[in-house]
Structure formats: structure tokens, C-alpha cells
Structure 1
Amino acid sequence: MRAISGLWRWRRNPLCRATDLAEAWVALAALLLILSAAPVVGSFVGGAAQDALQRSVRAQHEARHPVTATVVRKLDRSPLDADPETSSGRDLRNRVLAGWTAPDGSPHQGPVLASLKDPRQGDEFRIWTDRHGRLVARPLDSATASTHAVLAGFGAALVTGGLIEGGRRLIVWHMVRRRYARWDQAWDRAGPDWGRTGAGN
């Protein structure tokens, strides 16, 4: 950034080397690319992710159905279940044997994790099933899908900016290496005469 701010000042500076000016132009080009390309890439990726995720939301809502299940009896706690003393109210679930009717009308019964604090026989709670009554995960909601799409777009913009900055650093690194190589060659040519009286006259 210092090279960019000094670009105009270096234009007529007699101490400015051609490589200094080239580095400043590379930095300016990288900045302009970041400001123009990163938002475009982020917008494109975010839009594509939004379309794909919203299609997935619609498909999941068509294939998954909320069903009311009824507690038959409480089951013994599994070692994998959350500890009620360390779990929040949202995470607290109890294993129960429940019965439910599938959207196609078929009756089902099986072990289910119920979000009930103290489940008793006859208590009702909601589960998600497919059309045939098999248990499935809750479908993705539209707001969560949009949040994921925004994060994908933001991440793509950051990656684009990082790649451009990485390219700038690589170019400058090659320029500095060439500059040092030229300095070494100049020192090698001046070396035999270094320190001699009248050398170079």
C-alpha cells in the first residue's frame, strides 16, 4: 500500500528505480483487481449457492413431512444421550418408544428421541418422516439456506482477494530476486578494483 501512495511522488523522483515504479504499478493493479473481481466472484458464487440451496429446501419440504408422534413408554437412557445436567433445554432429549401414522396412512412404532422434558405415555410431539413414515432429519429452512449462501459468497470473495494478493507477492518476490541478482553481478564486476587507489579513473 505504501508503494501505491507513493506512486505519483515517484513519477518524477530521480532516486526512484524502475523496479520501485514497477512494484508500485503491480500493487495498484492488484488493488484494483481485488476491488473489482472479488465482489463479482463473491456475488456469482453466493447467487449460485442460493439457487442450489433453495432448490434443496424445496425438495426437502416436498419429501419430508411433519408428523405427530405419541409416546408409548420411556426407554432407558443410552450412554450416547446428552447428560441432563450439562445440556441446555434445546439439547435435552429423551429416548422413548413412540407410535405415529405416516402420510401414506401406514402405522409405525419405534424408538425416537423426543424433545420432552419428562415424557409420559400419551404425550405428543412432532417428528419428521418421509412419505412412508421412515424417520428423517428436519428439512433445511429458507433463512438458514440464505445464510449459508451469503457465507459462501463472502468466502469466495475473500479467497479471490487472497489469491490476487498472493499473486502480487509472488511477482514482487521475483522482481526482488532479479534485483539482488543484478546487484551481485555489479559487485562481482567492481570487486577486483575495490579499494584500489585511482580505480575507475
Structure 2
Amino acid sequence: MRAIRGLWRWRRNPLRRGTDLAEGWVALTALLLILVAAPVAGTLAGRAADGALQRSVRDQRHTRYEVAATVDHEVERSPLEANPDLAAGRDTRSRVLAEWRGPDGSDHHGPIMTTLKSPEHGDHFTIWTDRHGDLAARPLDSTTATTHAVLAGIGTALAVGCLIAAVRRLIVWRMVRRRYAHWDRAWLRAGPDWGRTGAGS
């Protein structure tokens, strides 16, 4: 952003070129857009994401149910999962065959992942299902939804800021190329007479 400081320096400088001022104005415009447009875009995106996520929270609260499941027996682990050296750092949940009753009164039986350390027949744990008793993910909570919305807003603001900076660099790059092309044409015109007596050099 040195070109912004250059705006003041170049105001009445006799060596000032039109492109110097243009680069300064482009940089100043980009800075103002980053300071204003990026936060506005981030705020709007965050609010939109929060509204959509909070609607999902409300919908999931009405369509997902916490029910009790009963362990039938633990499913044997694969050789890789049974090896403590290979399983280090992996998911510590256990897979069990369990029975549960859905909110509509239907009985269900199937494999489920549970956080029980040593599941045994008859152990109880809670799971989430839909209204028909089919397994469902834990419903999103309001705090998590807000966190996701904030992250979406920050991400949008950063993306807009990067886009503005990239556009500024592209504009300045094109201006510099145009300046160099102008210099090349000027040198070509002066080249044949360069250094000759009486050529005005």
C-alpha cells in the first residue's frame, strides 16, 4: 500500500506520471473496499448462515428423538481395531448390536456405535432417531450453529478481501505492462538517432 502514501507525495511533484496517481487511487480504493465491503459481506453472509442454521436447529428438534437402546452383544472388532498399537489415536467407540423402540412404537434391531467402554448384554445407552425409529445424527445445537455462522462470516470477509486485493494487483500489473510497452515504443523511436551528432541527444 505504499502507493497510497505516494498519493500525497505526488500531488505537486513535477516528476509525477499519470500512472503514479492512478496506482495510488487504485490502492486507496482497494483499501477502502477491504475495510468496508469485506466486513459488510461477512456480516451479511454470517447472518444468512445463522438464519439457515437456526432453522435447521428448530427443524431437527422437532424431527429427531432421543431414545434408549439396549445392548444385545458387542460386535467383534477387526484385527486392525483389536491391535492397540494400530488403533492408538483412533475412534474409541465400540460397535454393538442393540435393540430400541422408535417414537412411533416400532421395534428396531441393528449395529450401532456406542461410547460404552465395555459394553455387555443388557447395558443401556441413548441414541438419536427420526420419528420412525431409524438412526439419525445428533441434532445441531444453537451454540454450534452460531459458531458455524460466525466462521462462515469470517471466511466470507477474508475471501472478499483477498478477491479485492487480487483485482488490485491485476489492475496494477496491467498498468505496469502498459507503461513498459509505452517506454519500449519511445525507445524504438529514439533508438536510430541515439548518440549521433546533431540528433539532439
The 3 A distance-change label for structure 1 pair 133 and 83 is farther
Residue identity opposite 2:46 in structure 1:
G
Instruction: Could you tell me which runs of 5 or more consecutive residues in structure 2 were left unpaired when the two chains were aligned.
Output: none
TM-score (norm 1): 0.92
Match of 1:86 among 82, 85, 88: 88
Partner of residue 186, structure 1: 186
Output the CA distance in 1 between the equivalents of 2:130 and 2:92.
24
Structure 1 position 87, deviation (Å): 3.8
Instruction: Could you tell me which runs of 5 or more consecutive residues in structure 1 were left unpaired when the two chains were aligned.
Output: none
Partner of residue 20, structure 1: 20
Partner of residue 70, structure 2: 70
How many residues are paired up?
Answer: 199
Output the CA distance in 2 between the equivalents of 1:142 and 1:80.
38
Q: Is the 8 A contact 1:82 1:92 kept in 2?
A: no
1:37-116 residue pairs with structure 2 within 5 A? 37-78=37-78, 85-87=87-89, 91-116=91-116
Residue identity opposite 2:72 in structure 1:
V
Query: Secondary structure at the residue paired with 1:33?
Result: helix
Identity of matched residues, %: 68
Q: Is the 8 A contact 1:98 1:112 kept in 2?
A: yes
Output the CA distance in 2 between the equivalents of 1:195 and 1:136.
85
Deviation string for 1:13-35 (max 9, x for gaps)?
12221111110111001111111
Question: Structure 1 residue runs of 4+, over 2 Å off?
Answer: 78-85
Output the CA distance in 2 between the equivalents of 1:200 and 1:133.
95
Output the CA distance in 2 between the equivalents of 1:9 and 1:129.
68
TM-score (norm 2): 0.92
Structure 1 position 198, deviation (Å): 2.3
Query: Secondary structure at the residue paired with 1:127?
Result: strand
Residue identity opposite 1:156 in structure 2:
T
Q: Is the 8 A contact 1:30 1:168 kept in 2?
A: yes
Q: Is the 8 A contact 1:81 1:93 kept in 2?
A: no
